[in-house]
A and B are shown apart, each in its own frame.
Chain A
Amino acid sequence: MEMEPDFLDRYQRQLSLPEVGLGGQRALRAARVLVIGIGGLGCPVVQYLTAAGVGNLILVDADRVSLGNLQRQILFALKDVGSFKVDAARDFILKQNDKIAVTVYKEMLSAENANALLALADIVVDCTDNFAARYLINDACALANKPWVYASIAKFEGQVAVFNDRMPNLEVRIQERSHPIDSIETSVRSLNYRDVFPNPPGDGEIQNCAEAGVLGALAGIVGSIQAMEVLKWILGLKGLLVNQLLTYNAIHHSMVKFQLDENSDRK
């Protein structure tokens, strides 16, 4: 995939980072990212991946924009109310960079379409708002050997983790950056969502944002951390939230990283 003609100007601020540079910018341009759910988390994720020059964005969401979405879903404007979220998001992306390849799916992730959608991407971003979708992403990524970046929010708190990454993941990807990321042989995978929470909670046990409420800025903060992990993964940077669960609390501004162990129980 060719770089944008204006890429030296456009990406100067990140090209000057030794961790990015021309090689990193090429990796971003070649990367294929599947974003599932274009809501409170999906909006900042799409916004920052677009701005950073991720070349291929695949967006999945069956919903249309509602007036109540505008409080936290910052890709959308009043004129988008009633439009499909993926269409409005594609308009936003192309207005900023018309060289990005955007593919949209106006459907919910399902057991039927999951494998085909995963096959389109190097890495998956879970911006969904329910456990059924999250466990489906987890299990489909485990079967397909795809890494995925998880995030979820509850009132004033958020969780973020990188699941099912190839281990060891860093040096290999830097050395093989000229190759498509998914051509790298898979081996041992890092822990996944079922290693933290083996089974979904009962129906109605955990409130979603519609029931519990949320301030939009929290979705922005947690979605931005999620976008950062996607960029770090593409760039092969250290410090990914692999075998860890990051929690953020917006009241106290506290962040805690919890360690996951293979031997912690799966009950």
Chain B
Amino acid sequence: MMTVQLMSYGALTDITGANSFELEISGEKISVAELKLMLFSQFPALEGKTFRIAVNQRFVSDESDVKAGVQIALMPPFSGG
């Protein structure tokens, strides 16, 4: 098992319910794509939303790794001005 810290930004916080939360993941390493599937299963309203994932404050691709202790950010585009 590993624990990752997640931060959600903008309107995604309305879906995740908190701007900071933790996720317990079995195994020692998963891909960002796998993390997304886990998030979609926990928060179905996330699926279909436009957002990028950052690992330790760096935007990454779906193929990147998520390991224990990293900080994940879910970043949507903002519209207002």
Binding site for B on A (CB under 8 A): 37, 39-42, 126-131, 151-155, 157-159, 196-197, 199-202, 205-209, 212, 214, 219, 245, 247, 249, 252, 256-261, 263-265, 267
Identify 10 residue pairs between A and B in the complex whose beta-carbon atoms are under 8 Å apart, listed by A's number.
A127-B81, A128-B81, A129-B79, A152-B80, A154-B10, A206-B76, A207-B11, A245-B75, A261-B60, A264-B60
Q: Which residues of A contact B81 (CB under 8 A)?
A: 37, 39-42, 126-130, 151-153, 209, 219
Q: Is the CB of B80 within 8 A of A131?
A: no
Q: Within the assembled complex, what's the spacing in Å between the Cα atoms of A202 and B78?
A: 13
> Which of A42, A208, A256 is in CB contact (< 8 Å) with B79?
A208
Q: Which 4 A-B pairs have the closest CB atoms?
A: A265-B61, A209-B80, A152-B78, A129-B81
The size of the chain B interface, using a CB distance under 8 A, is 24
**B52: CB under 8 A from chain A?**
yes
Q: Is the CB of B78 within 8 A of A154?
A: yes
Contacts A152-B78, A201-B76, A265-B63 aside, 20 further interface pairs with beta carbons under 8 A come to A126-B81, A128-B81, A129-B79, A152-B80, A196-B77, A202-B48, A206-B77, A207-B11, A208-B79, A208-B80, A212-B11, A256-B57, A258-B54, A258-B57, A258-B73, A259-B57, A260-B59, A265-B61, A267-B61, A267-B62
- Residues from 29 to 49 in B contacting A, C-beta threshold 8 Å: 48-49
Q: Within the assembled complex, what's the spacing in Å between the Cα atoms of A206 and B80?
A: 9
Q: Within the assembled complex, what's the spacing in Å between the Cα atoms of A200 and B79?
A: 10
Q: Is the CB of B59 within 8 A of A258?
A: yes
Q: Is the CB of A152 within 8 A of B77?
A: yes
What residue of chain A has the Cβ atom nearest to residue B60's Cβ?
A: A264
What residue of chain B has the Cβ atom nearest to residue A257's Cβ?
A: B57
